């Protein structure tokens, strides 16, 4: 036993993290393929497998596709349609996918033959990914990944306009209705990530932001996958791969939060500092926020500390603080485990890492309502614009038919005579009156 632990411990350096699952990523459309590609570019040194994940990327737009440049040599790109994109038209995106559905079935089977679990990744709002997301679910359900797939969906930013928000809402509504029959869903809130990125990088660009956000999603997911498999559990409970599997089999949304702090700043007897911080980070979330955590069906909190710090830190009081925080946050969860781990001191930093995961959640109501409000506002603006277009600024005015140069214009050209169809009778009558009065 001792020997096994020691062996295991030797493997557990920062660079050599084990994973619970070999994920596959099926990316659709530009957002979906960019994120899926970043996820499959995660590298590890375990069992000589540099790239443990694999990806299949599908898009209709050749130019967008060329911009996605996977490092992972096993990532496969598959262009559907004529290469010109689906131009935000979800019906077109869906039809182009259906045309190639059989080929996609085959590609999914080969590309994910080694995958335990596949994430279908889509940036909600466009024509290709959003249009084909339901068909993508069908592909996975009918090719061996029923109960072994989840969704990673980005929510658009508010400024992205009527069509984008409307497309996103249309598909969210369908997914929401079917949610209990689907796997877990991870929402990536582009507005939240964009705001955070802009605060930290005021000089940054949208392109920088997108690269950052895609890597950020990839790292967050990989972190979750490794923390459940890599470290030495201390104490009675271990949030291990089988616990993680349960979460991945729980329908509904997955929410996660994490933070780290210098171990010297954490005092086991002063729960307020770290449990308040953890609560704050749970509210902020990593990829999205606004969940009603009371509805969580599964919860886990993992803490990871340096071996020498763990002795000082992992007291009864420490665990009780975290347990009571979780118990008061996720009232409905059946299990509210706190798992403690230690890592080798040779790891460079002396941080304590806190991770929390909530599964089986409902959609974040306020965020979805805000999208619907934005959509309503766009509709009102559009309606007002159409009405303004209909309104004729010169209503009641009848145009004159003359096109002559100004020097050629006679008085009649300018104002017409009584028999001129284009003239205004009233104007002529008035003029006649004037002419009589001034003996013209």
Ligand X SMILES: Nc1nc2c(ncn2[C@@H]2O[C@H](COP(=O)(O)OP(=O)(O)OP(=O)(O)O)[C@@H](O)[C@H]2O)c(=O)[nH]1
**Binding residues vs ligand X (CB under 6 A):** 29-32, 34-35, 60-61, 85-88, 93, 123, 125-130, 154, 156, 160, 164, 188, 190, 210, 213-214
303 binds, among ligand X, Mg ion, none (CB under 5 to 8 A by kind): none
Closest CA to 302 of 331, 256, 333, 341: 341
217 or 301: whose CB is closer to ligand X? 217
60 or 226: whose CB is closer to ligand X? 60
Q: What does the alpha-carbon distance between residue 239 and residue 337 come to, in Å, rounded to a whole number? A: 8
Q: Which stretch binds Mg ion (CB under 5 A): 22-30, 101-109, 297-305, 321-329?
A: 22-30
86 or 266: whose CB is closer to ligand X? 86
Closest approach of Mg ion to the CB of residue 27, in Å: 11
DSSP secondary structure string for all residues of 69-137: --SSTT-EEEE-TTSB--TT-HHHHHHHHHHTHHHHHHHHHHHTTT-SEEEEEEETTSSHHHHHHHHHH
Query: Using CA atoms in the order 355, 38, 173, 87, what is the torsion angle rounded to 10 degrees?
Result: 160
In this structure, are residues 333 and 224 in contact, taking their beta carbons and an 8 Å threshold? no
Residue from the set 28, 30, 175, 338 that interacts with Mg ion by CB under 5 A:
30
Cα separation values, 85 from 81, 164, 213, 393, Å? 7, 15, 23, 39
Residue with tokens 């007897």: 269
Closest approach of ligand X to the CB of residue 68, in Å: 9
Q: What does the alpha-carbon distance between residue 310 and residue 155 come to, in Å, rounded to a whole number? A: 39
154 or 228: whose CB is closer to ligand X? 154
24 binds, among Mg ion, ligand X, none (CB under 5 to 8 A by kind): none
Q: What does the alpha-carbon distance between residue 411 and residue 415 come to, in Å, rounded to a whole number? A: 6
Q: Which stretch binds Mg ion (CB under 5 A): 61-69, 233-241, 321-329, 333-341?
A: 61-69
Q: For Mg ion, which residue has the nearest CB?
A: 30
210 or 234: whose CB is closer to ligand X? 210
| Residue 121 sits in the site that holds Mg ion (CB under 5 A) | no
254 binds, among ligand X, Mg ion, none (CB under 5 to 8 A by kind): none
| Residue 64 sits in the site that holds Mg ion (CB under 5 A) | yes
**Contact set with Mg ion (CB under 5 A):** 30, 61, 64
């Amino acid at each position: 036993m001792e020997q096994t632990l020691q062996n295991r411990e030797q493997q557990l350096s920062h660079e050599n993290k084990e994973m619970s699952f070999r994920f596959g990523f099926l990316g659709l459309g530009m957002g979906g393929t960019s994120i899926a590609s970043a996820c499959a570019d995660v590298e590890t040194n375990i069992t000589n497998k540099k790239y443990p994940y694999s990806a299949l990327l599908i898009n209709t737009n050749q130019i967008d596709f060329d911009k996605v440049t996977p490092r992972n040599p096993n990532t496969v790109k598959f262009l559907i349609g004529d290469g010109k994109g689906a131009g935000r038209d979800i019906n077109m995106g869906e039809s182009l996918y259906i045309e190639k559905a059989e080929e996609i079935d085959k590609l999914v089977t080969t590309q994910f033959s080694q995958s335990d679990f596949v994430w279908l990744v889509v940036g909600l709002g466009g024509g290709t990914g959003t249009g084909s997301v339901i068909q993508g679910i069908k592909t996975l359900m009918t090719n061996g990944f029923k109960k072994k797939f989840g969704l990673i969906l980005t929510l658009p930013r508010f400024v992205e306009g009527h069509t984008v928000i409307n497309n996103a809402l249309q598909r969210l509504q369908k997914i929401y209705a079917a949610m209990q029959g689907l796997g877990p869903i991870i929402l990536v809130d582009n507005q939240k990530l964009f705001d955070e990125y802009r605060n930290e990088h005021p000089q940054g660009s949208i392109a920088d932001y997108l690269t950052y956000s895609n890597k950020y999603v990839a790292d967050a997911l990989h972190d979750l996958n490794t923390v459940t498999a890599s470290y030495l559990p201390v104490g009675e409970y271990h949030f291990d791969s089988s616990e993680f599997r349960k979460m991945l089999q729980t329908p509904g949304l997955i929410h996660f939060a994490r933070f780290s702090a210098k171990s010297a700043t954490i005092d086991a007897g002063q729960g307020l500092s770290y449990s308040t911080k953890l609560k704050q980070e749970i509210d902020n979330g990593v990829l999205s926020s606004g969940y009603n955590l009371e509805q969580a069906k599964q919860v886990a909190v993992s803490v990871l500390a340096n071996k020498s710090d763990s002795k000082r830190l992992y007291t009864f009081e420490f665990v009780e603080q975290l347990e009571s925080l979780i118990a008061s946050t996720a009232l409905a969860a059946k299990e509210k485990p706190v798992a403690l781990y230690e890592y080798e001191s040779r790891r460079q930093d002396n941080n304590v890492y806190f991770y929390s995961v909530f599964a089986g959640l409902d959609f974040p109501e306020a965020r979805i309502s805000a999208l619907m409000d934005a959509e309503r506002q766009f509709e009102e603006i559009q309606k007002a614009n159409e009405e303004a277009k209909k309104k004729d600024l010169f209503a009641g005015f009848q145009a004159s038919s003359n096109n002559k140069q100004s020097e050629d214009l006679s008085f009649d050209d300018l104002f017409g005579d009584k028999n001129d169809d284009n003239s205004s009778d009233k104007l002529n009558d008035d003029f006649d009156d004037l002419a009589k009065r001034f003996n013209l």
